[in-house]
Structure 1
């Protein structure tokens, strides 16, 4: 009997927890850290790798991916969609620069209701979407990496340059958070017969408990979105990690999660053909058969 693909994740948790290097990290929280990991997920039969050993709020993850693809860098449209996962960084900046110990709820309310406040305090700098859709070169020209990728998939699917990435060295210091999932390389298998679209992601830094379950399902969604745009079925998602770590304040939660048995992955269906990559809405994604274990909460390290 084949092993459940989620077992790869549970094995990685166990390895890092038991053999990872204990260290103090950028956030001051501390981690168990290891270098190098890989997981593979077959998407070809509609399986959607939303982990089941704890509930993953897949709609939030997909909404974030849709937001990345718009090229926006302000949290206001995310908050309008009920996505609060980026609020910690601008909130910390606001508190530090103004001295006002505003609550997160009050800060988010001001972002939503005051456009000028949102422009000043809600922007994250040139994070993912900016680099993906409007990379500014040294000569001042702007490059839309995602549009170029889609065009190349249609016209030159055997290329080894089917890549977009966000590690813009000259702008790292202006970002609220340097890109973690930084390189996306696509690959078309079965050219000339039954082509399928595959994706390999390199993630230089990965919070295994909170971040990775989000990342895997949104990256799988991205494969389906781009596959639809180029007229191919989805193939495989290959995830590779650099510094993979468990925060020291997540050890109890991870231990609980590792004791749970994975359940079958749900299925993903795209209900509508989007006009282009900018046209996707969360309502286009139908996920059926998701029956996870209960959620397990954990604090974000900022």
Structure 2
């Protein structure tokens, strides 16, 4: 059994057994603990969960989207990545320009009302097609505001200058690897209350170089354990691989520190099903040896090898 995956499964069990029942912004309700940490040895293998199938292409294309500083879902949809659709769709259906059927609370209503779900699916499909085909529509309604990519690559200062945090950190790793300032923050207090479709859950990450290896620690303020955290683990592990590759380093650890770690009340059965399964050997990551810069990465530069898993487990997303 993989020690890496067991760290995640142990967290699931702990939150189920010890979590406090809490209300939340989405109205769904959670089982929650505050303060948890998982460690993943990236030398052991790539920490993509095996107790349920996780779509690696979604993780890789989202990370490339972040790295490019993009904040519009058009790129994602063109790569068949639908994981940010609901937040952009919510902005569209709440706008004055939207004239379709009432989509209030579409996330929950679509689960319990079949007639509404059919309407919702039709409206969402129409929305996606317009985002892909109509650049002007996409520019207005596919935009999520200054979310992760914007903060990573173009943090706006009080003097209207910008800071490319990710580029600066990579330069620091190359020139001053022992620095304790290899930090990128997505949490911008000015943008959080008014501009972002979703305030950043994975808020800050830091790199650490020792013994020729690059490690990364992420602080995640809010952690959806069943749907979100498996993606976050793999995404930051992949980012560590990419930056280590550019900097001529091996990979070390990914350390995942969680603030509010929660299981949504409508994910409990799915978590229990996952916990009933045995983990399988971990996959490996191979990167194109010709890739010189993180900022040039394409999906074809990343290969996931020997991934095996149990079947996927579906669950509703809380918006």
TM-score normalised to structure 1 length:
0.95
Partner of 1:153: 173
Counterpart CA distance in 1 for 2:2 and 2:92 is 47
**Residue pair 2:53, 2:313 contacting (<8 A) in 1 also:** yes
User: Which secondary structure does the structure 1 equivalent of 2:290 belong to?
Assistant: coil
Runs of 4+ in structure 1 deviating by more than 4 angstroms, as ranges, are none
**CA distance in structure 2 between the partners assigned to 1:16 and 1:104 by the alignment:** 33
Report the equivalent of 1:72.
Answer: 70
CA shift, 1:99, in A, is 4.6
Q: What is the 5 A alignment of 1:37-56?
A: 37-44=36-43, 47-56=45-54
Q: For structure 2, which runs of at least 5 residues remain unmatched after alignment?
A: 102-121
2:176 is equivalent to residue 178 of structure 1: no
Partner of 1:90: 88
8 Å Cα contact 2:2-2:280 kept in structure 1: no
Partner of 2:109: none
The one-character-per-residue Cα deviations of 1:76-97 (angstroms, maximum 9, x if unpaired) are 0010011000000110121122
- After TM superposition, the structure 1 stretch with the greater mean CA deviation from structure 2, 82-91 or 270-279, is 270-279
Tell me which residue corresponds to 2:148: 128
Question: How many angstroms apart in 1 are the aligned matches of 2:144 and 2:77?
Answer: 13
Q: 1:3 to 1:217 in 2, by over 3 A?
A: closer
Is contact 2:5–2:279 with CA below 8 Å preserved after alignment? yes
* Structure 1 residue 145 displacement after superposition: 0.2
Partner of residue 281, structure 1: 298
Does structure 2 conserve the Cα–Cα contact (< 8 Å) formed by 1:271 and 1:285? yes
Question: What displacement does 1:174 show?
Answer: 0.4
Q: How many Å apart are 1:139 and its aligned residue?
A: 1.1
2:159 maps to 139
Structure 1 residue 3: deviation in Å?
5.7
Shift of 1:5: 1.9
**Residues of 2 paired with 1:5 and 1:157: CA distance?**
26
CA apart distance, 1:141: 1.2
Taking the aligned partners of 1:25 and 1:108, their CA distance within structure 2 comes to 28
Say yes or no: does 1:298 pair with 2:286.
Answer: no
1:247 maps to which residue? 264
Correspondent of 1:59 among 44, 57, 60: 57
- The answer on whether the counterparts of 1:180 and 1:204 sit within 8 Å (CA) in structure 2 is yes
Correspondence for 1:187: 208
Choose the corresponding residue for 1:213, options 230, 233, 238.
230
Is the Cα–Cα contact under 8 Å of residues 58 and 218 in structure 1 kept in the other structure?
A: no
> Distance between the aligned counterparts of 1:273 and 1:237, measured in 2?
25
TM-score in terms of structure 2 length: 0.90
- The CA deviation string for residues 223-244 of structure 1, in whole angstroms up to 9 with x for no partner, is 0100111111111111110000
8 A Cα contact 2:64 2:297, kept in partner: yes
Between Structure 1 and Structure 2, how many residues are aligned? 296
Cα 1:44–1:117, aligned 2, differ >3 Å: closer, same or farther?
A: same
The match for 1:24 is 23
Q: CA-to-partner distance for each residue in 1:139-168, whole Å, 9 max, x for gaps?
A: 111100011001100110000000001100
Structure 1 residues 98-107 or 88-97, which shifts more?
A: 98-107
- Measure the CA separation in 2 of the matches of 1:137 and 1:253: 43
Q: Distance in 2 between matches of 1:123 and 1:32?
A: 32
